[in-house]
Amino acid sequence: MAGSMWRRPGLGLCDGFARAARVLSKRPMNVHEALDAWQAQYSGQPPVGFMLRFTHESVWTRIHYLRESPEPATAEDDRVAASRFDAVCSALFTGTTVLVMAIHLDPRHEDTTDLRALGATAISPPDSWIETLGGYLPDPSRAEFVATTLSWQRGCLDRIWLAVARDLIGRIAVFCPATGDAFCPYGGGADLFVWGSERRSKLGDRFRAWLPSPGLPGSLSQRPAAGMAAERG
């Protein structure tokens, strides 16, 4: 995005991100500033977990297979998934301002009411998102990108998590500009991007029963192959 504080000449990306995050933490943050932070932290990639895990595997883990039964999910299964989403997000985001982003693949067939109630409004997606999404959007003319910022509190997105668990909504991502962390849920789990090896280790200790076993994709013991985006600092 033009005019971004993240692109000042002569300032390294890591230093620029840290300094700008400190500035933003001292005053209310709007959606455009938070989107700028996302673009800097995730190299212009769209907020879609299964895509980010290939470019940012060094900071990726996942809450995987929340349900193991082959039977259709029950209302209680959906509530369990929503509760786990909330628990992990609260461990990551409590006390911070977060950016909530959604890609409605086709708003005609999705539950968009709860996001609008939170203040989500349409945004113009960066060109880099559209280029990367490519054929993922079934009908780009119908896709809608929305976002809002909010102060994280436990339970604040419970209705959104239920919509995710029931496949009633498109792609959702929650991003904290202050830490760089992102949470991208899907029907069977969530892709997490947590910056800092110590913080990932603490997260693993707290939620180990919900993480993949060592050696499986997304486990904290499996680190990236060469050529992936490296963790900064």
Q: How far apart are CA 29 and CA 225, in angstroms?
A: 35
Q: Which residue has the higher pLDDT, 96 or 3?
A: 96
User: Quick one: which of 71, 16, 66, 24 has its CA closest to 41?
Assistant: 16
Mean pLDDT of the chain: 82
- Over pLDDT 70: what percentage of the chain? 76
Looking at residue 150, its amino acid is L
Phi, psi of 121 (to 5 degrees): -130, 160
Give the pLDDT of residue 209: 79
Residue 6 clears pLDDT 80, i.e. is over it: no
**pLDDT level of residue 212 (50, 70, 90 thresholds):** low
Query: pTM score, two decimals?
Result: 0.81
Q: How far apart are CA 189 and CA 65, in angstroms?
A: 6
Q: How far apart are CA 175 and CA 185, in angstroms?
A: 12
**pLDDT level of residue 33 (50, 70, 90 thresholds):** very high
Q: What SS3 class is residue 223?
A: coil
Q: How far apart are CA 62 and CA 193, in angstroms?
A: 8
